[in-house]
């Protein structure tokens, strides 16, 4: 079986300088100052191509911080104006899509808890009809390749050709050193079915802690993934979400410097 998607190569819609694409920024936008300071520090490293920030946060249990909401779009707009970095946010329904588009967000991503639900993905796809914007689809929380493929097909079916996948690992009942098992074979199968589909790795949500991120990042590049999405925060220890897995902009810069990129085979 081949997966037929109509896709534009990543380097035609994002300038990655032929390096792996690095997307970074906080798990959650918390305050304007936190987002802007982090964005400036990331931009100064010269290694980040896209600023990410969650403003609508799908929390597994109620009673936790569920994102700063629409006001975060204004902060992202300002971060982009001041740093020149294109911005990316997670969208989980049609209203999020409409607000993000109206605010000039550059890239949308679909989170792992949304990819599992075809109704949700279709609602997002319908809101994207006639729109030309890059969309990245995270794998579903559970190791189901068909759900991941189905979500990519729905978004592509809406006419989105600047399309990529994000491999963020899979929930497992088994205890492991990882927050989400990488189960690399699923990403490899997706690549085999559709070689033109860019796959970006998210070592932050795979690892769940800072320490393992360099190892998973290198492994992803060794498997020819085209980029990394790594959460960063000016002071990870006080982050409102995912504190254990965020890195400072300085640590991110060091981590990127240590990565080895294989020369493409000629
Ligand atoms: C996130 O990127 O902060 C996030 C909520 O990720 P995921 O959908 O992979 O859990
Ligand atoms: Mn997160």
Q: ipTM of the predicted structure? A: 0.99
Q: How confident is the model at residue 18 (pLDDT cuts 50, 70, 90)?
A: confident
Cβ distance 229 to 23 under 8 Å? yes
Q: Closest-lying ligand to the alpha carbon of 206?
A: 1
pLDDT in tens, 154-181: 999 999 999 999 999 999 998 899 999 9
| Atom 4, ligand 1: residue with shortest CA distance | 111
- CA 164-170-175 angle, to 5 degrees, is 155
Query: Is any atom of ligand 1 closer than 6 Å to the C-beta of 168?
Result: yes
Contact of 100 with 73, CB cutoff 8 Å: yes
Alpha-helical runs (H) found in the chain:
10-13, 32-45, 71-83, 94-102, 112-115, 118-127, 145-157, 184-193, 203-207, 213-222, 249-258
**pLDDT greater than 80 at residue 1:** no
Q: Quote the percentage of the chain above a pLDDT of 90.
A: 94
- Is residue 111 in contact with ligand 1, taking CB distance under 6 Å? yes
Query: To the nearest 10°, the Cα dihedral for 170, 171, 174, 179?
Result: 80
Q: Is the CB of 205 under 6 A from ligand 1?
A: yes
Task: Say how far apart CA 99 and CA 125 lie, in whole Å.
Answer: 15
CB 209 within 8 A of CB 245: yes
Distance of alpha carbon 196 from alpha carbon 185, whole angstroms: 17
Token couple for 255: 């981590």
CA distance 34 to 120: 30
Q: Is 167 in the pocket of ligand 1 (CB under 6 A)?
A: no
pLDDT value at residue 2: 81
- pLDDT tens digit sequence for 61-112: 999 999 999 999 999 999 999 999 999 999 999 999 999 999 999 999 999 9
CA 226 to chain centre: 12
CA distance 138 to 168: 7
Q: pLDDT class for 194, splitting at 50, 70, 90?
A: very high
Domains of the chain plus CATH, in order, are 20-258 (3.20.20.70)
Average pLDDT, the chain: 96
Would you say residue 218 has pLDDT above 80?
Answer: yes
Give the Å distance between the CA of 265 and the centre of ligand 1. 33
Cβ–ligand 1 distance for 27 under 6 Å, the answer yes
pLDDT band at 266 (very low <50, low <70, confident <90, very high): low
**Any atom of ligand 1 within 6 Å of the Cβ of 112:** yes
Residue of 66, 90, 213, 241 to mutate, ligand 1, most atoms within 8 A of C-beta: 90
**pLDDT confidence of residue 163:** 98
**Nearest alpha-carbon partner for 128 in 164, 80, 91:** 91
Give me 169's structure tokens.
Answer: 């690992």
Give 10 Cα–ligand 1 centroid separation in angstroms. 21
- Match 């965020």 to its residue by tokens: 246
What's the CA gap between 14 and 50, in Å, rounded? 9
Q: Whose alpha carbon is nearest atom 1 of ligand 1?
A: 27
């Amino acid at each position: 079986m081949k997966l037929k998607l109509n896709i534009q190569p990543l380097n035609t819609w994002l300038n990655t300088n032929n390096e792996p694409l690095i997307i970074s920024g906080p798990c959650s936008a918390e305050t304007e100052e936190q987002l802007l300071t982090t964005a400036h520090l990331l931009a100064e490293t010269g290694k980040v191509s896209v600023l990410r920030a969650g403003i609508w946060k799908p929390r597994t249990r109620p009673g936790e911080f569920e994102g700063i909401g629409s006001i975060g779009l204004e902060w992202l707009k300002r971060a982009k104006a001041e740093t020149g970095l294109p911005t990316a946010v997670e969208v989980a329904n049609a209203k999020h899509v409409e607000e993000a588009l109206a605010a000039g967000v550059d890239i949308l991503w679909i989170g792992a808890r949304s990819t599992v639900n075809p109704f949700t993905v279709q609602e997002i796809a319908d809101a994207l009809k006639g729109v030309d914007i890059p969309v990245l689809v995270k794998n579903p929380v559970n190791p189901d390749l068909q759900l991941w493929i189905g979500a990519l097909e729905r978004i592509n079916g809406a006419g989105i050709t600047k399309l990529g996948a994000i491999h963020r690992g899979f929930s497992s009942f088994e205890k492991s050193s990882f927050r989400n098992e990488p189960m690399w074979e699923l990403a490899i199968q997706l690549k085999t079915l559709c070689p033109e589909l860019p796959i970006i790795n998210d070592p932050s949500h795979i690892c769940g802690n800072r320490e393992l991120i360099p190892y998973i990042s290198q492994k992803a590049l060794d498997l020819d993934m085209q980029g990394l999405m790594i959460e960063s925060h000016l002071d990870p220890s006080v982050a409102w979400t995912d504190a254990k897995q965020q890195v400072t902009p300085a640590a991110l810069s060091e981590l990127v410097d240590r990565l080895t990129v294989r020369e493409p085979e000629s």
